[in-house]
Structure 1
Amino acid sequence: YFENVYEDYGLNHRGFGFGALFTDFDNDGDQDLLVNHDFGYKAVPNFLYENSYPRKSFKDQSKAYAMDLKENAMGSAVGDYNNDGLLDYYVTNIKFNLLMENQGIGEPFVDKAKELGTSIFMISWGANFADFDHDGDLDLYVSNGDLNPNCTPMGNFFFENDNAKFIEKGRATGTNDYGVGRGSIVFDIENDGDLDILVVNQKAVQEYPTASVTRLLRNDKPQGNWLKVALKGVQAETNGIGSRVEVVSGKTKMMREIDGGGSSHLSQNTVVAHFGLDNAKKVDSVIVTWGGGKKQILLDQNINQLLVITEVEDEKIPYWYAIFAALLFILLIGFYGRKKRKSVKTVNQG
């Protein structure tokens, strides 16, 4: 059964929480916590809690990492958009969204939204990093909308990652729906290797000029190779939630964190890790870091497949075997001790 340990773990702060995401921002193998706050500009800013495992506590690192964002934060996408091995966070907001780039352990995050082209005036909610075009980097989908009938309907964003610069292509890709967007997820509905989008739209006011209904956006861009990885935890969580998968293909190394819910806006993406491989003919290695830090490596994997990886259990030595080994060790010590004493006695007699 469950016990409320919120305050015991040092999480006794208050605010207008609008969503939370467990994520390993510092690459130490445990789950940290990112909390988005509405009205952060005038009340309580966002929180970033560092997991102090094995101690049963979290440490507030919001200011130290410049993640105490004073915004109307609604949701967040997590992903390593520049393939540097560090997780970055796209935080949706009223007005301008933020792309918080991870600078490494002990270094504050830096907002790159304006520099990289993802800072556009809007009221945003859901957001998802995914490699929609299979070119080896993460693109970004953002759902937008507001219920105010005086607001102009807001099309959703589709930012294509072009060498770590983002180009907005919502209209060109057919993803700029003008409903009142809220949560969004990515998953492979047809099992054809590419990622599709489901976006939930809130019912609009009567005067709203366009239909605001749930949209299922099928990805029909047939190019580039891919790999999907499904984890089956044994000692770790069953679906590998909280684990991460790295894929190495040639000079490219990509990383995905398995989503346990809370990403985008009140949503959960697929737990199957997806990698675009462009024109690669094989995968050199797949590295799984299971929740808890244990690593498992598979070499020379085929492309365009769903690779299911079952966690290898730690070998447990039977109780009787441990006792037998201990007794054998004691007997050997005694045997060699007697042999040594006998040898010394013989030398003395000589």
Structure 2
Amino acid sequence: MMSRVKANCLGFSLVIVFCPVFIFQAHAQTPSPSPAHPGRSYDSGPVGRKPPAPAPQFPSPITFTDITTQTGINFKHAASPTSQKYLPETMGGGVALFDYDNDGRLDIYFTNGALLKDPMTANAQPDKTDPRFWNRLYHQKIDGTFEDVTEHAGVRGVGYSMGVAAGDFDNDGYVDLYVTYYGGGTLYRNKGDGTFEDVTKKTNANPGGWATSVGWFDYDRDGRLDLFVLRYMDWDFVRGSLACGATVRAYCHPDNFKGVAPALLHQKEDGTFEDVSMKAGIADPTGKGLGIAFADFDNDGLTDIFVANDSVRQFLFHNRGDGTFEDVALLSGAGYDDNGKTFAGMGVDAADYDNDGFPDVFITTLSNETYPLFHNSGDLTFTSRTSVSGIGLITLLNTGWGTRFVDFDNDGWRDLFVAQGHVLDTIESSTSYLNYKQTPILMRNTGKGFVNVSNSAGLTMSLAARGAAFGDLDNDGDVDVVIAQTNGAPVILRNNGSKNNWLGISLSGLKSNRQGLGTRVVVTDSTGAKQIFDVSTASSYLSSNDPRIVVGLGTKTAQSIQVKWPSGVVQTVTSPAVDRYMTIKEYSK
């Protein structure tokens, strides 16, 4: 990986971090950030640098069709750009794919910005009054088109919104929403009648701060979902008006601001939340979290947390099983890149890409860095596979955000999709070989590494992409993609599918949480080969994914499905039919 050149222009990374406390207002005692290196933009690199030749493109069995217009969705993210180049303007928004009315079809929720004054005064806050800044909920109709139900549902949002997580926190069978914003988070309880209720105050669910990515999980296996909320930086609109950029004003690099700890909110028996960040051991104040991924990295039955941090060390919180976590990122080898340097962590996912039985980690970063791929050795240590996998050459000139491991062609190997777009809308004036708008990347997993198949897959659109969510919108057994742009319209990509066999799995918990988040699913095919899945809606960047698992089988069939619930219940389904979805309900014993 190439080292990043520090300048005072911003280089965003997605990081997943929870902060117990976030300093939201300006503090007179905070020292002024040091000036940036003159004459360099964030990504310009050494004078005279020549860009490397692009990675070769390969034919793709996977193809996508842009169906945005056909869906009837007319949302446009409004960033409210100013001459001050406030950081929230370039961070974009997220997407949630979830079925809020239990009709069997995925619905879509987009987060949005808010009106910013130019400049913002000391006590001013972003204004969401104008409908063009509302977050939007789209209900999918039976014909595959979507209708805007935001007003009726009551989920227009608060402040300058960022991330979203969908989860049934009260186990009533209806999926709820948690939405982050500059200032904290909002918990919307799904009432089951097509409307939502803001229960943030009564549940004590707002940790404050500049909250970014958020995820639902049950870290203590008590059957109630808890919240992990990442916070980005100790930033406000006064200090955020710092002039950055060597030749033109640009977004400031996060090195100019202090970090903030993430927040862990434990759900109590009465449905309220308690901030346990300090006693749980996750309150590291150096964090600049943008992306979260949950997985059981050491196969001990407990959900661990990986946080993608921007330009500081990454976090890997190992679940000790007693309500506390230990950050093992440094000792594990996943805290820095393979040169021992920090990088701009932004989006992240964890999954077993090589089918060896242990979840691996992939992180998106800034251009002139490569997207790290950390291979899990099985003992809580990781080795970098960025270069040998082929990912290094493919990603060097790109800036990535939303991402996920998905087997798009159902051949039994999980591929990688990355939504891309540079942080700086001025980058082309300082670095001729970099672009603000970039095409998405699809890296196909061949079983021996990854190859770039983006062009032949139909991913030729240039986007200022940020969040991305993944799910089977049309219930045809292959995973589709919804991309959010900053200050632009989303892109909805339909996966055109393959002839390979597949198996779709939905979970219904009884003693465990209703959605089965944190469950380990092991699918054995007709040859005896196994694939593992840790059920989670988190990962990517600011987004929430379809909770269902789609297992690619190639030409094979399924021999068995083993389900290891968070409650400790283990059950097995033998000889399941393929090419269809099935629901597995937790045993009562």
State the TM bucket, normalised to the shorter chain: 0.7 to 0.9
Q: Match for 1:160: what amino acid? A: R
Which of 254, 265, 268 is matched with 2:531 structurally? Answer: 254
Q: Match for 1:257: what amino acid? A: D
8 Å CA contact 2:569, 2:587 repeated in 1: no
8 Å CA contact 1:189, 1:196 repeated in 2: yes
Which of 99, 103, 106 is matched with 2:377 structurally? Answer: 103
For residues 43-192 of structure 1, the aligned pairs below 5 Å read 45-53=313-321, 55-69=322-336, 70-94=342-366, 95-106=369-380, 108-119=381-392, 120-121=395-396, 122-146=398-422, 147-149=424-426, 150=428, 151-152=434-435, 153-192=437-476
8 Å CA contact 1:30, 1:293 repeated in 2: no
Shift of 1:39: 1.9
Which of 8, 18, 28 is matched with 2:279 structurally? Answer: 8
Report % sequence identity: 30
Distance 2:574 2:382 in 1: 34
Q: Match for 1:116: what amino acid? A: S
* 2:310 corresponding residue in structure 1: 38
Q: Does 1:274 align with 2:550?
A: yes
Q: Does 1:241 align with 2:525?
A: no
8 Å CA contact 2:390, 2:449 repeated in 1: yes
Q: Does 1:305 align with 2:572?
A: no
For residues 318-337 of structure 1, the aligned pairs below 5 Å read none
Q: 1:22 to 1:134 in 2, by over 3 A?
A: closer
Shift of 1:251: 3.1
TM-score (norm 2): 0.49
Shift of 1:175: 2.3
Distance 2:377 2:365 in 1: 22
TM-score (norm 1): 0.82
Show structure 2 runs of 5+ residues with no match.
1-271, 337-341, 429-433
Higher strand share: 1
Residue 247 of structure 1 aligns to a residue in which SS? strand
* 2:479 corresponding residue in structure 1: 195
Distance 2:293 2:352 in 1: 15
Residue 115 of structure 1 aligns to a residue in which SS? coil
* 1:20 corresponding residue in structure 2: 292
Distance 1:190 1:115 in 2: 36
8 Å CA contact 2:537, 2:546 repeated in 1: no
Shift of 1:170: 0.8
8 Å CA contact 1:30, 1:292 repeated in 2: no
Distance 1:114 1:292 in 2: 39
8 Å CA contact 2:511, 2:567 repeated in 1: no
Residue 8 of structure 1 aligns to a residue in which SS? helix
Shift of 1:23: 2.0
Shift of 1:291: 1.5
8 Å CA contact 1:242, 1:260 repeated in 2: no
Residue 36 of structure 1 aligns to a residue in which SS? strand
Larger radius of gyration: 1
Shift of 1:19: 2.5
Shift of 1:219: 0.8
Q: Number of matched residues?
A: 298
8 Å CA contact 2:292, 2:349 repeated in 1: no
The Cα offsets for residues 247-282 of structure 1, whole Å up to 9 and x where unpaired, read as: 111232111111142x011112211011111111x3
Residue 259 of structure 1 aligns to a residue in which SS? coil
8 Å CA contact 2:439, 2:461 repeated in 1: yes
8 Å CA contact 2:371, 2:386 repeated in 1: yes
Which portions of structure 1, spanning 4 or more consecutive aligned residues, are displaced by more than 6 angstroms?
none
Show structure 1 runs of 5+ residues with no match.
204-211, 315-350
The Cα offsets for residues 180-214 of structure 1, whole Å up to 9 and x where unpaired, read as: 111112111111111111111112xxxxxxxx531
* 2:499 corresponding residue in structure 1: 223
Distance 2:383 2:377 in 1: 7
Residue 35 of structure 1 aligns to a residue in which SS? strand
Shift of 1:128: 0.9
8 Å CA contact 2:346, 2:400 repeated in 1: yes
8 Å CA contact 1:224, 1:278 repeated in 2: yes
